[in-house]
């Protein structure tokens, strides 16, 4: 599994389809287009993964880092069944600070892990969209 690193990679995947949602997470997927003549964003035909945990939904850095670690750990498990495509797991709602008082508590990590497993199970059932045709074709007038 490869990790997304550049802004362009994240933007390309976020422009793709949302294939699964849970109460706190959304999973975006973009089919890999390795045949384009331009420099490809994704150098290999592998599973690519990125994690987005905005400050808006997780104020403390320790919380954001703990959630990102859970995302990468859960998705690296061999039984996730993610297809060969680029994926971004995005936190789309915050966890209740009254219920999860500590930013890196075992209770929060367990809740995040359970929800991520549910998200990835839903995503494994979703079909992979075909790669978008390149926009380099010109129309004749």
The Cα–Cα gap between 74 and 51 comes to 12
Mean pLDDT of 82-96: 88
Domain membership flag for residue 133? no
User: Which structural domain, as residue segments, surrounds residue 113?
Assistant: 2-34+41-125
Domain membership flag for residue 131? no
Q: In the predicted model, is pLDDT for residue 133 greater than 60?
A: no
Mean pLDDT of the chain: 81
pTM attached to this predicted model: 0.78
Is beta strand 48-52 parallel, antiparallel or unpaired with respect to 2-3?
A: parallel
Mean pLDDT of 130-137: 50
N residues, the chain = 141
> DSSP 3-state assignment of 60?
coil
> Would you say 64 and 55 are in contact if contact means Cβ atoms under 8 Å apart?
yes
Domain membership flag for residue 103? yes
Q: What per-residue confidence (pLDDT) applies to 27?
A: 92
The CATH number of residue 61's host domain is 3.30.230.10
Which band of pLDDT confidence, cut at 50, 70 and 90, is reported for residue 68? very high
């Amino acid at each position: 599994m490869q990790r997304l690193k550049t802004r362009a990679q994240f933007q390309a995947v976020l422009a793709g389809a949302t294939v699964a949602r849970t109460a706190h997470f959304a999973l975006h997927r973009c089919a890999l287009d390795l045949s384009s003549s331009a420099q490809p964003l994704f150098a290999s035909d592998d599973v690519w993964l990125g994690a987005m945990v905005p400050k808006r939904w997780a104020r403390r850095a320790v919380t954001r880092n703990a959630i990102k670690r859970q995302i990468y750990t859960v998705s690296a498990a061999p039984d996730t069944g993610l297809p060969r495509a680029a994926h971004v797991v995005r936190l789309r709602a915050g966890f209740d600070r009254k219920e999860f008082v500590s930013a890196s508590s075992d209770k929060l990590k367990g809740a995040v892990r359970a929800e991520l497993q549910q998200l990835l199970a839903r995503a494994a059932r979703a079909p992979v969209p075909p790669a978008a045709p390149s926009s380099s074709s010109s129309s004749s007038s």
